[in-house]
């Protein structure tokens, strides 16, 4: 694992405009030390080039079936001024004691992780940048773990803001 991510917690990556302009993303890619997360990033880049940021309707889970257990989709809730979980893969669902689909960040994450996710929301939803996050989660019924989270912006065909991500545990 690249210690830069652990030290910073949040690393903003290339913007949508930079990717569409074919800016070199090799440094950002080198920070993604998980093959499945890198596969999601590459698939997202292809969709972005073909559909622009309104790529949510084009996302086809059959193109990345091995990634689905650890993928999530969040939607920006302008009224609440935070993201709301819309879809969560089975491996991610197993990490929480309760159902989090439909909940806002404040409803199920507290403390430093909540603050980090909200900083990430600004980067992803408003700066339209990719991001990598590292954070520790503490659970009541299992050991603490450090998670790495690749988050990518996308819109639907009406301009609603979403993020798609892939989470893996630091070994």
Higher pLDDT, 80 or 171: 80
Q: In the structure, what pLDDT confidence band is assigned to residue 164 with cuts at 50, 70 and 90?
A: very high
Which residues are CB-contacts of 55 (< 8 A; sequence separation ≥ 6)? 44, 47, 48, 154, 155
- Ordered structural domains, the chain, with CATH: 3-169 (3.30.450.20)
pLDDT digits (tens, 9 = 90+) for 122-151: 999 999 999 999 888 765 555 677 888 999
For residue 100, give Cα distances in angstroms to 24, 50, 76, 105. 36, 32, 15, 9
C-alpha–C-alpha distance, residues 112 and 116, integer Å: 6
Task: Check: pTM over 0.85? Answer yes or no.
Answer: yes
pLDDT at 99: 82
Convert the pLDDT of each residue in 81-123 to its tens digit: 999 999 999 988 887 766 889 989 888 878 888 888 999 999 9
């Amino acid at each position: 694992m690249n210690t830069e991510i652990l030290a910073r917690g949040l690393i903003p990556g290339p913007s949508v405009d930079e990717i569409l302009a074919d800016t070199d993303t090799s440094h950002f890619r080198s920070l993604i030390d998980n093959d499945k997360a890198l596969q999601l990033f590459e698939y997202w880049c292809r969709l972005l080039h073909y559909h622009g940021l309104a790529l949510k309707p084009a996302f086809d889970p059959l193109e990345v079936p091995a990634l689905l257990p650890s993928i999530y989709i969040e939607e920006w809730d302008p009224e609440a001024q935070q993201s709301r979980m819309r879809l969560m893969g089975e491996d991610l669902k197993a990490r929480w004691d309760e159902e989090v689909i439909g909940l806002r960040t404040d409803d199920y994450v507290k403390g430093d992780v909540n603050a980090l996710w909200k900083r990430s929301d600004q980067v992803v939803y408003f700066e339209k940048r990719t991001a990598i996050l590292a954070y520790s989660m503490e659970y009541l019924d299992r050991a603490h773990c450090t998670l790495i989270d690749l988050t990518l912006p996308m819109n639907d065909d009406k301009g609603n803001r979403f993020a798609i991500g892939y989470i893996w545990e630091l070994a």
